[in-house]
Amino acid sequence: MATLLSCFSLIVFAFGSLVRLRFAKSSVTADLCFATHTLRSSVTGVALANPEYEAGGSLWHSMSDEELLRRASAVPRAVESRRKAKVAFMFLTRGGIPFRVLWERFFRGHDGLFSVYIHASPDGEEEPPEDSVFYRRRIPSKPVEWGRPSMLDAERRLLANALLDASNERFVLLSESCIPLFDFPTVYDYLIGSALSFVSSFDDPRKAGRGRYSRRMHPTVTSAEWRKGSQWFEVQRGLAVGIVSDRRYYPVFREHCRPPCYVDEHYLPTVVAKLAPGLNANRSVTWVDWSRGGSHPATYKRRDVSLRLMFARKFEASALGRLLLIADAAKRWNWH
């Protein structure tokens, strides 16, 4: 069974438990942000949230990346107590959402508790139906190359757009190959109830870890501070503001971390470990299976789908039919 479980990349929201979990909401301190002396925004005042963002309207706008990041850097670092906190689900995709039907079941009946954002190829698929939670949720996007700084640019672009909704408290990065296997209330309660962010960060002594460090990053980032981790993160609002506000570390990574250094595997793990280690659970929400070797994690097909899964990636679109059958059978998920 252990071998079977290791064949799946899992996004684990409840420490591997299959029972439904309820968590009391933790108090969020004012320290849930990067150190202000290094990442303070130069923008004065607070950008007003776009009403359409909060009402679920179109996310399209004409702002440049610079203007977008400037506005997002100036938003409040915590959700006001009068607002109902939401979880922002940010999809970094190469095209459409092949598991759209499964996600729509996951979100159904929970309006007002989540937001959806899609960064897709500019020449991506057509708009989904108007009754879909993905309708008009694509943000202005740019081409992304695997392993290149453009990948990190896309992640920051997603975070910045999501921060413009003043009700978004938690921010989850997902791909088009991710699927939800816990019900929405379990995921929501776990994330909103946590005072920590979930960013994998570790010191990898191998060539694929420390071997990617460039001395040209010194002294901004030293070799002792260099970290590696999963691309797939989940962060609290204050930390998200810190990421889009960064003007010190991001340029160094963009300039000196290029293949075989993959910036999406090193930037956030290094910066979070350097500036906010006490605010991080130091684990990703994604448990990726690299046991098959290569530059990408295992991809799972129809024959790999079973009831042993929780919240997983990386799946091919061919698995959708069987996944829907499992979702129908799993009444404990309360997916109607």
pLDDT tens by residue, 321-331 = 887 877 776 55
Q: What is the pLDDT of residue 93?
A: 93
Cis link prior to 259 (omega < 30° from 0)?
Answer: no
Helix intervals (H) in 77-147: 100-107
Q: Please, which pLDDT band fits residue 12 given cuts at 50, 70 and 90? A: very low
Position 184 confidence tier, pLDDT thresholds 50, 70, 90: very high
Q: What is the length of the chain?
A: 336
Which has the higher per-residue pLDDT, 325 or 175? 175
What pLDDT, on the 0 to 100 scale, is given for residue 288?
Answer: 63
The whole-angstrom separation of Cα 211 and Cα 310 is 34
Q: Is the pLDDT of residue 147 over 70?
A: yes
Average pLDDT over residues 23-51: 34
User: Which one is predicted more confidently, 215 or 288?
Assistant: 215
| Global pTM value | 0.77
CA distance 16 to 313: 15
Q: What is the arithmetic mean of pLDDT over 175-192?
A: 87
Crossing angle of helices 263-275 and 149-163, rounded to 10°: 60
Query: Pick from 60, 66, 24, 64: which is nearest to 43 by CA?
Result: 66
Rounded to whole angstroms, the Cα distance separating 239 from 334 reads: 32
Question: 52 vs 16, which has greater pLDDT?
Answer: 52
Looking at residue 180, its pLDDT comes to 79
In tens, the pLDDT along 231-290 reads 889 999 999 999 999 999 999 999 999 999 999 999 999 999 998 999 999 987 765 665
pLDDT for 82 = 87
Q: Give per-residue pLDDT as tens, 53-84.
A: 554 567 889 999 999 999 999 999 999 888 99
Residue 60, class by beta-carbon neighbours within 10 Å (0-12 exposed, 13-18 middle, 19+ buried)? exposed
Better-scored residue on pLDDT, 326 or 198: 198
pLDDT at 286: 63
Which one-letter amino acid corresponds to residue 31?
Answer: D
DSSP-derived secondary structure letter, 312:
B
Q: What 8-state DSSP symbol labels residue 125?
A: P
pLDDT at 56: 56
Alpha-carbon distance of 121 to 140, in angstroms, equals 10
Mean pLDDT (whole number) for 192-201: 94
Q: How much is the pLDDT for 201?
A: 93
Q: Is 249 exposed, middle or buried (0-12, 13-18, 19+ CB in 10 A)?
A: buried
